[in-house]
Amino acid sequence: MRAKNYQNSLEFARRLDDEDPLKEFRQKFFIPKVKGKEVVYFCGNSLGLQPIAVKDYIEQELKDWAELGVDAHENAKTPWIPYHRSVVKETAKIVGAKPIEIVMMNSLTVNLHLMLTTFYRPDKKRFKIITEAGAFSSDQYALESQVKLHGLDPRKAIVEVKPRKGEYTIRTEDIVECIDQNKKELALVFFGGINYYTGQAFNMEAITATTHKAGAVVGFDLAHAAGNIVLKLHDWQVDFAVWCTYKYLNAGPGGVGGLFVHEKYAYKKLPRMAGWWGHNEEERFMMKKGFSAISGAEGWQLSNPSILSMAAYRASADIFNKAGIAKLIKKSQMLTGYLEYLITTGCTSPSVFKSQDVGYTIRIITPKEEQERGCQLSILVKKNGEKLFERLKSKNFVVDWRSPDVIRVAPVPLYNTFEEVYKFSKELTKVCRLE
């Protein structure tokens, strides 16, 4: 549905919910409550809600552990030794990869360090890393510390691409130009798939192609992209990617991380940090000297899989598989498009605004174009943003506040409704004017 066909009314929002082919999926999740009343939860970008089925998946493993003990490694309903493979097919669909390119393990920042160890191999000539200004802190620290481990100066080795003056998001042409300007010294380009603060989805295909033309490698942090936007890591020829599963992928706090290494490296014995679980499976228990990596992403595994956290992820991955990532993204674009429409049309009504004694000036800094964002809208509040955030919270809306001046709102297609979007925007636009 095009924005011009949207209507700013509760009836219309309810009609969209009625017609929603994914409406049944909300019932598969626990919706948090405050004082017995369900909240409007728009924080799936930070911590996805708990699928009701998680308990059954985890209980199965507890049962196998209780009844089989060590035997469960081989004889559990889903045997533990190859347990990580039970989620590969679903995950490959979510990130647009081949099974050999995927492994679930560790957590995001750990996986990022493992990838930087392999793919950031600076020499005298090529030592620079290009990244986004304002990246998530953990990514900045990972890059900075890796640069230092090589004895280099982060101020010289790390080049940040910034938004232009007066703008909030980074232009693809500026990223491309920066890569071009630094191409002789460039070792690595590392970006988020979606910036956590602005909600901007980067053009990963263009960044990858440009980086490769410059003779360097490229990796992405998909924390805010996995389960949220179309990803075609294999086809785009991305070298590596890492992500977490507790945001849009609903695997629970500290859930197992994800790793992608492109098939082109599957049979190359690239240097890496090694552990027994990445070693040739036939010999894994022989405890022999000499590491020999399993082909593909699994060759980067260090330890035996964390079954309970993987079981929780499996429950959610199965839901994603049932809903279908393409359908989810289609609904997501409608939900977020509707939210944007309601805020932009709702805020312009001066009569509503005048009736309030408190007023906030806001601006949506997330790009308008569907292919440049996921479900999150970042609302920049000119003054007293935290007060507006507290006000929304007191009215049962769970959104989040990111210092210095942004409220992030993420309607998630698996469990949010058009009616919730409508109610939220009514509350917001009551007291806001659009800059």
The residue ranges that bind ligand PLP (CB under 6 A) are 107-109, 136, 138-139, 192, 196, 221, 223-224, 244
User: Which is closer to ligand PLP, CB of 86 or CB of 109?
Assistant: 109
Q: How far apart are CA 290 and CA 278, in angstroms?
A: 12
User: Which is closer to ligand PLP, CB of 136 or CB of 418?
Assistant: 136
Q: Provide the minimum distance between the beta carbon of 107 and ligand PLP in the complex, in angstroms, as a whole number.
A: 4
User: Which is closer to ligand PLP, CB of 102 or CB of 223?
Assistant: 223
Q: How far apart are CA 213 and CA 200, in angstroms?
A: 24
User: Which is closer to ligand PLP, CB of 6 or CB of 136?
Assistant: 136
User: Which is closer to ligand PLP, CB of 48 or CB of 337?
Assistant: 48
Q: How far apart are CA 56 and CA 62, in angstroms?
A: 10
User: Which is closer to ligand PLP, CB of 13 or CB of 87?
Assistant: 87
387: Cβ contacts below 8 Å, ≥ 6 apart = 360
Q: Provide the minimum distance between the beta carbon of 23 and ligand PLP in the complex, in angstroms, as a whole number.
A: 29
Q: Provide the minimum distance between the beta carbon of 242 and ligand PLP in the complex, in angstroms, as a whole number.
A: 8
Q: Provide the minimum distance between the beta carbon of 223 and ligand PLP in the complex, in angstroms, as a whole number.
A: 3
Terminal Cα-to-Cα distance of the chain (whole angstroms): 26
Q: Provide the minimum distance between the beta carbon of 192 and ligand PLP in the complex, in angstroms, as a whole number.
A: 5
Q: Provide the minimum distance between the beta carbon of 132 and ligand PLP in the complex, in angstroms, as a whole number.
A: 10
User: Which is closer to ligand PLP, CB of 279 or CB of 408?
Assistant: 408
User: Which is closer to ligand PLP, CB of 196 or CB of 415?
Assistant: 196
**Strand-pair category, 377-381 with 37-38:** unpaired
| In contact, 108 and 243? CB cutoff 8 Å | yes
User: Which is closer to ligand PLP, CB of 117 or CB of 138?
Assistant: 138
Q: How far apart are CA 190 and CA 218, in angstroms?
A: 6
The helix (run of H) or strand (run of E) holding residue 37 is strand 37-38
Distances in Å between the alpha carbon of 297 and those of 35, 203, 275?
46, 24, 13
Q: Provide the minimum distance between the beta carbon of 300 and ligand PLP in the complex, in angstroms, as a whole number.
A: 16
Mapping DSSP to helix (H, G, I), strand (E, B) and coil, where does residue 95 land?
helix
| In contact, 407 and 433? CB cutoff 8 Å | no
Cα four-point dihedral sign 109, 115, 121, 126: negative
The DSSP code for 48 is P
Q: Provide the minimum distance between the beta carbon of 24 and ligand PLP in the complex, in angstroms, as a whole number.
A: 29
| In contact, 373 and 194? CB cutoff 8 Å | yes
Q: Provide the minimum distance between the beta carbon of 341 and ligand PLP in the complex, in angstroms, as a whole number.
A: 27
The helix (run of H) or strand (run of E) holding residue 434 is strand 432-434
Q: How many residues does the chain have?
A: 435
Q: How far apart are CA 286 and CA 279, in angstroms?
A: 11
- Torsion, CA 146, CA 150, CA 151, CA 155, rounded to 10: -50
